[in-house]
Structure 1
Amino acid sequence: MTNNNVIDDSPLTNFHKRLLVQSAGGPFLDGWLLSIIGIALVGMQNELDLSTTDTSLAGAAALIGIFFGGLAFGRLTDRIGRQLMYTVDLCVLVGASALSVFADSAWQIIALRFIIGVAIGADYPIATALLTEWLPARYRGALVGSLIAFWCLGATIALFLGWGLVAWFGDDAWRLILGSSLIPGLIILVLRIGTPESPRWLMSKGRNEEAQQVVRRVYGQDADVSSLVDVETATDSVRYRELFRGEYGRRVFFCGAFFVAAITPVFAMYSFGPQILSQVGMAEGNMSNLGSALISLLFLIGCIPALWWTESLGRRPLLIWSFVGMLIPLVALGVLPQAGWFVLLCFAIYALASGGPNILEWSYPNELFPTAIRATAMGLITAISRIGAAVGTFLIPIGLESWGVKNIMLAAAALTLFGLVVSVLMAPETKGMSLTEASGEGTPVRSKAKLS
């Protein structure tokens, strides 16, 4: 290949498809681990005698861990490379999942869930940065965004499996439920072995010859990365402190704000969906677990048209109209009578509408920052988003007891409205841009993009 940009202008190859599967394995396992706790908590409460505070901490511990994992390991990934961290974080996930099976106290569950969260927080910037830096421009938004679809797929399979295990073994199956992630975790770990380093990262560190060798192994002996050398070497001068000021600071605020607004209600539904559905009379016991699994399936379905629209409609209109669609059912839940099936219907509408922000949570940050700080920025934005998600998840069981479902939903609606306003004022359009153009300081974010 002899064109000016060997990566951005490349056709989609079997290598890209294989890398997508390898990268998607992490989010798949993350969705599995973060959602399965909602079903396991019911059995844990009885066997381990968990208090309301213990239950809140067990549900929120992984999200707190994601905060620290994203903050620390995103930066480390930009320093030492994507390839090594790509495998190490999976080892930690698998190990902590195995130990969860043998936990016999609240503090052990909380500690292991925190460790799992740290590993998940590390995987988000690692996997998304590596995939982003290898993908052709015309497929980048949809394929990076598809990682959240794999997240939803992992969550959906885990919830249906959890429902089946409880139906078969009862609430005592919580140890089997927590240990169920071991098999997919080991498979994903094996698949990731041998994944090549990002040539963009190698060039940003001045290792141009290594980058050339990697690219030629993928694209053939005629491939040439010379057109990217100056660009990627120049981005190495971008420092961590620049994420907190100027144009990059503005981008961090935008991504973090819409991420918080989108993800907080989602995690509340995943972590405490069974309890919420039970409180409004939408089935009892294991049937509420089935309701959560069906809602998770709708989150997955909602991602599918959003993947198409991110490249056809563009990022900005997709984000804005998705927030509008998410706001309506939350307001309805807050002001209208809460019959059980009405709650399930509103949850379903919310889940379908949330596809846009869900896929853009990982596409936007990886497009808007240069190689030298891409994983750092993604880790920082992930950490910011988990502050809101952890606080919201911690407060859900307390709020259900003290405030009721209606007030919880109105609070979620207010947060969603905030996300809508931020998106209208700040959302950029990066559709069709090369990664260099999209991440170039001042180019996409400052443009006065129209709604459609």
Structure 2
Amino acid sequence: MSSPAPRLTRNQRLDRLPVTGKHRRLLVGSGVGWALDAMDVGLISFIMAALAVHWNLTSTETSWIASVGFLGMALGATFGGLLADKFGRRQVFAVTLLVYGVATGASALSTGLAVLIALRFVVGLGLGAELPVASTLVSEFSPRKIRGRMVVLLEAWWAVGWVAAAVIGTFVVAGSDNGWRWALLIGMVPAAYALYVRWGMPESVRFLERKGRREEAEDVVRSFEADVPAEELARIDAENAASPGVAKDMAAAQETSIWSPALRGRTIAFWIVWFCVSLSYYGAFTWIPSLLVADGFTMVRSFSFTLIITVAQLPGYAVAAWLIERWGRRLTLAVFLVGSAASAGLFGLASEEWMILAAGCLLSFFNLGAWGALYAIGPELYPTNIRATGTGAAAGFGRIASIVAPLIVPPVMAFGGAAWLFGLFALSFAIAAVAAFTLPEQRGKVLDA
């Protein structure tokens, strides 16, 4: 293999590569972990509806099952990012999978509401820490020209996990009085998957270099280069040598705090988007199965409707992955947020079955496309030394909204019904869209090392 030009850093050597088999394995490896996260979060919406019947829970008690998990996710996201910047992306990714996988399996043995709530908090710690760490890892390895698309494709695994949750909810949770326990036992899969993550995935080159582990970093870069034919690598180097340099986000370079003057504005806007999207998404999708049951649908029919609505997430991610490298991050995110706002309003006014399905599918399409763009933007806003911290802190702040969201649904429904509830979610999406327009556009820029 021809050696890279001396002037190229290891990160530049990674940025210049085409998509290789190792990129695809990294994406799938991280994506499976992401899907398992989504499956756990999604299962709770079905388990809430089932336990409300089997344990005769009030709506407030049911709300706490979801909210305490999101409380754990808020803490996990905040500290997970800090730990990933200190100990490495891969290490923290594996530990978080192990934590929430074991705790989910233990939840199946819960003898009462208090025990279940306590274990859901532990599950949330693992879930919250894993998501920003995985997106940071994928972003740091992705070729520069398709970095945003790679992260959206990672986020698309969320839909795979949520569809799996809907299938399990429809055929396992609704199948018997103890179906919810069997569903939680299935949720132990991440504990075993953590072993693969720990030994089968590479550590971030940027992290290794920052820790002075240059030989390990060099080995990782060479392993990716080895997947590219020598003649193709030579052609890429020749083209890069003949072309002008790529723009770099100089405002972020060398900063050591997400609240520094250069980064403060983007941090505030990023946090606002995270908070508003989390409020609307978790408020709506955590409660949709229960709301349908309350409207008179049988549990099986309610869960079937939710399964159909959930499948619409997949094309939402696909369209966002295509647009994010054509329109850019900021416009793609804002457009999907505006679509989410309109869809939430329509869902609140839906009265017929076909209207509920149509509006629900539109909400899934736009909302999950927005999530994909949001996760793609995050790692690009901050330099390497605070990248996981910045994405984790924003996710942690957003989890405050996800804690509140399940709790506000019962009182708002009692006050004004679905129209008021989903009108609130539509307003929240609209605020997020405005904040998204103030974020810097990072398409094509080099991730600061």
TM-score category, normalised to shorter length: 0.7 to 0.9
Give, as a single letter, the amino acid of the residue that structure 2 aligns with 1:409.
Answer: F
Is 2:387 aligned against 1:381? no
For 1:374 and 1:183, how far apart are their aligned partners in 2? 29
Instruction: Say whether the 8 Å CA contact 1:77–1:375 is kept in structure 2.
Output: yes
Give, as a single letter, the amino acid of the residue that structure 2 aligns with 1:199.
Answer: V
Give, as a single letter, the amino acid of the residue that structure 1 aligns with 2:82.
Answer: R
The total of aligned residue pairs comes to 422
Return the offset for 1:11: 1.2
- Paired residue for 1:428? 440
Return the offset for 1:248: 1.6
Spell out the pairing of 1:43-442 with structure 2 (5 A cutoff).
43-167=50-174, 169-183=175-189, 186-187=192-193, 189-220=195-226, 238-239=255-256, 242-281=257-296, 283-334=297-348, 336=349, 338-424=351-437, 426-436=438-448
Unaligned runs of 5+ in 2: 234-247
Q: 1:209 to 1:193 in 2, by over 3 A?
A: closer
Return the offset for 1:332: 3.2
- Paired residue for 1:228? none
- Per-residue CA deviations over 1:342-381 (Å, capped at 9, x if unaligned) read 2332121122122431112211111111110111111101
For 2:56 and 2:134, how far apart are their aligned partners in 1? 38
Of 2, 20, 42 in structure 1, the residue corresponding to residue 4 of structure 2 is 2
For 2:414 and 2:300, how far apart are their aligned partners in 1? 21
- Paired residue for 1:449? none
For 2:294 and 2:53, how far apart are their aligned partners in 1? 18
SS in structure 2 of the partner of residue 217 of structure 1: helix
Give, as a single letter, the amino acid of the residue that structure 1 aligns with 2:32.
Answer: G
- Paired residue for 2:239? none
For 1:120 and 1:263, how far apart are their aligned partners in 2? 15
Q: 1:112 to 1:276 in 2, by over 3 A?
A: same
- Per-residue CA deviations over 1:114-165 (Å, capped at 9, x if unaligned) read 1111101111122111111111111210111112210111011111121012
Give, as a single letter, the amino acid of the residue that structure 1 aligns with 2:182.
Answer: L
For 1:208 and 1:71, how far apart are their aligned partners in 2? 28
SS in structure 1 of the partner of residue 445 of structure 2: coil
SS in structure 2 of the partner of residue 12 of structure 1: coil
For 2:210 and 2:173, how far apart are their aligned partners in 1? 50
Q: 1:198 to 1:287 in 2, by over 3 A?
A: same
Give, as a single letter, the amino acid of the residue that structure 1 aligns with 2:78.
Answer: L
SS in structure 1 of the partner of residue 13 of structure 2: coil
Instruction: Say whether the 8 Å CA contact 1:280–1:338 is kept in structure 2.
Output: no
Give, as a single letter, the amino acid of the residue that structure 1 aligns with 2:387.
Answer: R
Instruction: Say whether the 8 Å CA contact 1:48–1:104 is kept in structure 2.
Output: no
Of 41, 53, 57 in structure 2, the residue corresponding to residue 34 of structure 1 is 41
Instruction: Say whether the 8 Å CA contact 1:92–1:119 is kept in structure 2.
Output: yes
For 1:125 and 1:320, how far apart are their aligned partners in 2? 21
Unaligned runs of 5+ in 1: 224-230, 440-452
For 2:195 and 2:158, how far apart are their aligned partners in 1? 16
Report the aligned-residue RMSD: 2.4
Spell out the pairing of 1:6-17 with structure 2 (5 A cutoff).
6-17=13-24
SS in structure 2 of the partner of residue 312 of structure 1: coil
Spell out structure 1 runs of 4+ moving beyond 6 A.
none
For 1:206 and 1:99, how far apart are their aligned partners in 2? 40
Return the offset for 1:333: 4.1
Instruction: Say whether the 8 Å CA contact 2:63–2:406 is kept in structure 1.
Output: yes
Return the offset for 1:318: 1.1
SS in structure 2 of the partner of residue 243 of structure 1: coil
Q: 1:29 to 1:70 in 2, by over 3 A?
A: same
Q: 1:217 to 1:128 in 2, by over 3 A?
A: same
Give, as a single letter, the amino acid of the residue that structure 2 aligns with 1:394.
Answer: L
Deviates more, 1:309-318 or 1:377-386: 309-318
Instruction: Say whether the 8 Å CA contact 2:71–2:121 is kept in structure 1.
Output: yes
Q: 1:306 to 1:20 in 2, by over 3 A?
A: same
For 1:191 and 1:417, how far apart are their aligned partners in 2? 38
- Per-residue CA deviations over 1:216-243 (Å, capped at 9, x if unaligned) read 23324999xxxxxxx9xxx99643xx21
- Per-residue CA deviations over 1:387-420 (Å, capped at 9, x if unaligned) read 1122112222343334311110111111111112
For 2:409 and 2:386, how far apart are their aligned partners in 1? 35
Return the offset for 1:211: 1.7
For 1:401 and 1:188, how far apart are their aligned partners in 2? 43
Instruction: Say whether the 8 Å CA contact 1:63–1:389 is kept in structure 2.
Output: yes
Instruction: Say whether the 8 Å CA contact 1:64–1:390 is kept in structure 2.
Output: yes
Instruction: Say whether the 8 Å CA contact 1:61–1:110 is kept in structure 2.
Output: yes
SS in structure 1 of the partner of residue 61 of structure 2: helix
For 2:85 and 2:359, how far apart are their aligned partners in 1? 41
Return the offset for 1:207: 2.9
Instruction: Say whether the 8 Å CA contact 2:205–2:220 is kept in structure 1.
Output: yes
Q: TM-score, normalised by structure 2?
A: 0.88
Identity %: 28
For 2:220 and 2:422, how far apart are their aligned partners in 1? 50
Give, as a single letter, the amino acid of the residue that structure 2 aligns with 1:326.
Answer: S
Q: 1:288 to 1:246 in 2, by over 3 A?
A: same
Instruction: Say whether the 8 Å CA contact 2:67–2:403 is kept in structure 1.
Output: yes
Instruction: Say whether the 8 Å CA contact 2:66–2:286 is kept in structure 1.
Output: yes
